[in-house]
Amino acid sequence: MGWHVPVGYEVLRIPADPGTVLVIASRWKEVLLAAGIGRPDIVIRDGGATEWADGGRVRHPVISAGGRRWLLKAYHRGGLLAHWNHDRYWGRRRFLLELETAVRAIGAGIPAPEPSALIFRGGGWGSFRAWQMMSFMPGVRSLRDILLEPSAGSANALVPIFRSAGEAVRRMHEAQIDHPDLNIGNILVRSPSAGMAESAEAFIVDWDKARLRPQGSWNPHRNLMRLWRSALKLAAASRADFRAHPSLLRSFLRGYFGRNPKGLRELRAYGRSRRAFLAARMVLWALGRDRRAP
Does residue 246 carry a pLDDT above 80? no
152 pLDDT tier (thresholds 50, 70, 90): very low
Q: Which CATH number characterizes residue 187's domain? A: 1.10.510.10
What is the model's pLDDT at position 286?
67
Structural domain of 51: 9-135
DSSP 147: H
Task: Check pLDDT > 50 for residue 119.
Answer: yes
Percent of the chain with pLDDT over 90: 54
Query: Mean of the pLDDT values across residues 181-187?
Result: 94
pLDDT digits (tens, 9 = 90+) for 28-62: 999 999 999 988 888 887 777 888 887 766 789 99
Residues 150-171 as b/e (b if ≥16 CB within 10 A, e otherwise) read: beeeebeebbbbbbbbbbbbbb
If you average pLDDT over residues 122-143, what whole number do you get? 92
Which amino acid belongs to residue 165? A
The last residue of one of the domains, among 135, 169, 203, is 135
How many domains does the structure of the chain reveal?
2
151 and 78 fall within a common domain: no
Based on the fold, state whether residues 124 and 168 are members of the same structural domain: no
CA dihedral 28, 60, 229, 197 (to 10 degrees): -70
What residues does 30 pair with on adjacent strands?
none
| Integer Cα distance of 280 and 128 in angstroms | 38
Closest to 248 in 3D by CA, of 168, 146, 145, 169: 146
Query: Sorting pLDDT into bands at 50, 70 and 90, what band is 287?
Result: low
Domain for residue 245, yes or no?
A: yes
* 28 vs 249: which has the higher pLDDT: 28
User: Is residue 101 situated within a structural domain?
Assistant: yes
Looking at the domain assignment, is residue 22 inside a domain? yes
Task: Examine the domain organization and report whether 148 and 284 are in the same domain.
Answer: yes
Residue 214 in domain: yes
1 is a domain residue? no
Together in a domain, 280 and 157? yes
Q: Are 229 and 89 in the same domain?
A: no
Q: Do 116 and 214 lie in a common domain?
A: no
Give the mean pLDDT of 87-97. 93
Q: Is the pLDDT of residue 255 over 70?
A: yes
Last residue of a domain, one of 135, 155, 186: 135
Among 78-87, 122-131, 219-228, the range of highest mean pLDDT: 219-228
Is 2 a member of any domain?
no
Q: What is the mean pLDDT of the chain?
A: 86
Same domain, 78 and 172: no
